């Protein structure tokens, strides 16, 4: 039996883990243990997240123009959705030249 480092309750460690287990199996204690572990890893590796984000941005093609068109809901710059559907209707009727 040993005390949990999070909640300070006594618990029986899992025999497979043995002396390495410091937190009981309560969900709150496991969540706190995971948060502490992740925070300590981020402290030891400060540039990892920034480098990963920069690599992702560099690997991604420039989609700025596509995203602008997607925001407006059109395929072409300067045309609204109503305009493009009206143009399609005129083209299908053969009245586009007028």
**Angle, vertex CA 70, rays to CA 64 and CA 73, nearest 5:** 150
- Supply the pLDDT for residue 87: 61
**Angle, vertex CA 22, rays to CA 17 and CA 23, nearest 5:** 105
Per residue of the chain (98 residues), what is the pLDDT tens digit? 999 999 999 999 999 988 899 999 999 999 999 999 999 998 898 877 777 777 777 777 665 555 555 555 555 555 555 555 656 665 666 655 55
97 CB-near residues (< 8 Å, 6+ apart): none
How far is the C-alpha of 35 from the C-alpha of 15, rounded, in Å? 24
For residues 40 and 13, the answer to whether their CB atoms sit within 8 Å is no
- Supply the pLDDT for residue 90: 58
- Supply the pLDDT for residue 51: 73
- Supply the pLDDT for residue 67: 53
């Amino acid at each position: 039996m040993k005390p949990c480092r999070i909640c300070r309750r006594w618990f029986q460690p899992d025999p497979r883990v043995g002396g390495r287990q410091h937190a009981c199996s309560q969900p709150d204690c496991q969540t706190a243990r995971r948060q502490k572990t992740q925070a300590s890893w981020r402290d030891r590796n400060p540039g990892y997240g920034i480098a990963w984000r920069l690599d992702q941005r560099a690997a991604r093609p420039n989609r700025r123009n596509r995203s602008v068109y997607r925001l407006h809901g059109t395929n072409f710059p300067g045309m609204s959705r109503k305009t493009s559907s009206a143009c399609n209707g005129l083209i299908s009727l053969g009245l586009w030249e007028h």
